[in-house]
Structure 1
Amino acid sequence: MNQKITIVFAAALVAGCTGQVPDAKSEGDKLMQVSRDWAQAAASRDIEKTLSYWADDATVISAGDMPPIKGKQAIRQMVEGSFKSPGFAISWAPQSAEVSKAGDMGYLIEDTKISFNDSTGKTITRNYKGVTIWKKQADGSWKDVVDMLSPLPEQK
């Protein structure tokens, strides 16, 4: 009897393990390309395309004393306001990617540059290190769920 239970258990275990293990490097490369595509959308000031990369419940944590921005509607207001600001420009490039063994979560380390005009109209450019945390969606796409920037020391 014990042998039958063992065989049934082993068969069920094998049947449950038929899913493929994701290739973390390949998924990381895909995630880095998604970030590059997103940067292009932001550089072109395409609001809808820029917003499409965030999950509906995403959180953006900015440097400084600003509170976290939570949810797509609040993020929309931030993006629209930024794109309307004179001198505003943003660009970034992913530097490294890590993807979970299950292939459903990942994060990127990114270099980010943001420019804006100060109160006198002079353009100020700041550099940041960014971390974005991504979740794979049911359709296979990646969505940013947490976006965080940390300012780098100003170069003189």
Structure 2
Amino acid sequence: MKISLSLLLIFVWAASCRTRVDSPRAMNPAAAMRQKAIDEIREADQNFSIMAEKQGLAKAFTTYAADEAIKMNDGTAPTVGFDAIRAQMSQLPSDGSVLSWQVLKADAAQSGELGYTFGQWMLTSKDEAGKRKAQYGVYVTVWKRQRNGQWRFVIDGGNTTPEPK
């Protein structure tokens, strides 16, 4: 009995000394790099939304667009290139409308250089009578890591949907 109890205690002690691994990713550098990219892309998308809410669409889109960005427009031709996006954004009316969005899904390539976000957006504005109204939709944004390590969108687009339930 003393031998088996001693063996049990040694086994428990040895098991407690083992390095804890939280997930298989901790052992796989490529998976860890991909997960880091996913986390960074999600954060970039959230910061993009916060900037749009607080500083307006023009500031947000010109901050987060890559030079070669394409902005898909609901019902019209896409806007191609940073300069064209800046020009489009400068013509937005300053009517107090606020666009915000929430990431529902983010993923990245194994290389950690390209990824996407998908989510829901809401545009709040006032109608002619001053009553608040909201429009809803979904979006997808393709993100590319820039040479300086920052994430910028290369394709962004979405469309309107009924109000989420």
The answer to whether TM tops 0.5 is yes
Is structure 2 residue 38 aligned with structure 1 residue 57? no
TM-score for both structures, normalised by structure 1? 0.75
Partner of 2:52: 42
Task: Please give the per-residue CA displacement for 1:95-150, whole angstroms capped at 9, x wherever unaligned.
Answer: 11110011111000121111234455544311111000011111111110000102
Aligned CA distance change for structure 1 residues 57 and 98 (closer, same or farther; 3 Å): same
Partner of 1:104: 113
Identity of aligned residues (%): 25
| RMSD value, Cα | 2.3
Gaps of 5+ in 1: 1-19
Is structure 2 residue 135 aligned with structure 1 residue 126? yes
Listed as ranges, the matches of 1:71-86 within 5 Å are: 71-82=81-92, 84-86=93-95
Report the Cα distance in structure 2 between the residues aligned to 1:71 and 1:121, rounded to whole angstroms: 35
Question: Residue 156 of structure 2: which of 147, 150, 155 is its match?
Answer: 147
What amino acid is aligned across from residue 35 of structure 2 in structure 1? Answer: K
Q: Which runs of 4+ in 1 moved over 3 A?
A: 46-50, 116-124
Question: Residue 31 of structure 1: which of 29, 41, 47 is its match?
Answer: 41
* Contact kept in structure 2, 1:135 and 1:144, CA below 8 Å: yes
The offset of 1:79, in angstroms, is: 2.3
Structure with higher Rg: it is: 2
Task: Please give the per-residue CA displacement for 1:16-62, whole angstroms capped at 9, x wherever unaligned.
Answer: xxxx6362222111111111111111112254454121101211112
Gaps of 5+ in 2: 1-28
Structure showing the higher helix proportion among its residues: 2
* Contact kept in structure 2, 1:129 and 1:150, CA below 8 Å: yes
Q: Secondary structure at the match of 2:55?
A: coil
